[in-house]
Amino acid sequence: MFAAAIFDMDGLLIDSERPIMAAWIEAARTLDIELSHAQYLQCVGLAMGESKQILAALLGGTAAYQHAAAQVTAALQLQRADGDARPLFPIKPGAAELLTALRGRGTRCAVASSSTRGQIAACLGSLDVLHHFEAFAGGDEVARAKPDPALYLLAAERLGVDPAECVAFEDSENGAKAALAAGLRVVVVPDLKHPPAAITERAFHVLDSLHEAIAHVPRWFPVPLAKPA
C-alpha cells in the first residue's frame, strides 16, 4: 500500500514535549508566573515564531520571554550534563520496534521535523535509531514551517518517492496538515495535545501509540519486489 514512511520527530519518535514543557513552567515560576499545562499546550505543534508570540503574551512581554527562554536552555543543558546516562529526550514506546519492523521489510523511511538537521542527527543518534532513516528534512532547510507542506515534500523528494506513495506519522495538528497538504496519507499518534476532529477525520488511521502500528506493518508496507537480475 505504501512505499515509504516519513516520521515527525518531537512528540512522535521522541518524548521531548514533556521535559520542555516542564522547563518552561519552572522558568515561568522564576518570574512569579503560574504557567499552566493548558496554557503551554497552546504552543505545541506551532512554528517557533508563533509559539514565541503566545509565550511572550502569557509571560508578560518580550523581555520576560527572553529571560524564561534562557532559563529553559540552561535547564535542558544542565540535564544533559548531569552525568545521567539516560537520554534527555527518550524514545517513544514502540518507535524502535516499528522502525526495526519497517527495516526488515525493506521499507524506506525518512524524517520530516521542524527541528534542525543537527538536532535530528543528535537526538536520533543518541537513541541508536538514526541508521533506520535514508533521508532527513529539517526545519532549517525550508522557508516555511508546518503546516506548510515544504518539509514533507523535501523528505519525499530526498527519498525519491512520490508523496502519494508515502504515509506520514504525526502527533500534531500542524504536522498532519503539512503532510496532507503534501499529498501524503497520515497516521495520527497524539502526544500531549489531541488534534481536532477536523484532522483525525481526514487521517488514514489514528493510533494510541506507535506500538499499535507494528501490527499494521504487513498490510501497510508490502515487501518490495526484487529487481530483475
For the record, the C-alpha cell of 99 comes out as: 522502525
What confidence category does residue 200 fall into, taking pLDDT thresholds of 50, 70 and 90? very high
> What is the percentage of the chain residues whose pLDDT exceeds 90?
76
In whole angstroms, what is the distance from residue 126 CA to residue 120 CA? 10
C-alpha distances in Å from residue 116, one per residue of 33, 36, 145, 185: 30, 28, 11, 24
- Does 205 have pLDDT greater than 70? yes
Give the residue among 170, 198, 207 at the shortest CA–CA distance from 186: 170
> How buried is residue 34: exposed, middle or buried, by Cβ count under 10 Å (0-12/13-18/19+)?
exposed
What confidence category does residue 160 fall into, taking pLDDT thresholds of 50, 70 and 90? very high
In whole angstroms, what is the distance from residue 58 CA to residue 52 CA? 10
What confidence category does residue 80 fall into, taking pLDDT thresholds of 50, 70 and 90? low
In whole angstroms, what is the distance from residue 47 CA to residue 2 CA? 28
What topology is assigned to 4-15+90-220 in CATH?
Answer: Rossmann fold (3.40.50)
Residues 96-125: what's their mean pLDDT? 94
Residues 31-44: what's their mean pLDDT? 92
| Structural domain spans, the chain | 4-15+90-220, 17-80
- Does 79 have pLDDT greater than 70? no
Residues 48-53: what's their mean pLDDT? 85
Give the residue among 147, 158, 206 at the shortest CA–CA distance from 182: 147
53 versus 46: which is more confidently predicted?
Answer: 53
- Does 82 have pLDDT greater than 60? no
> In the chain, how long is the greatest CA-to-CA distance?
69
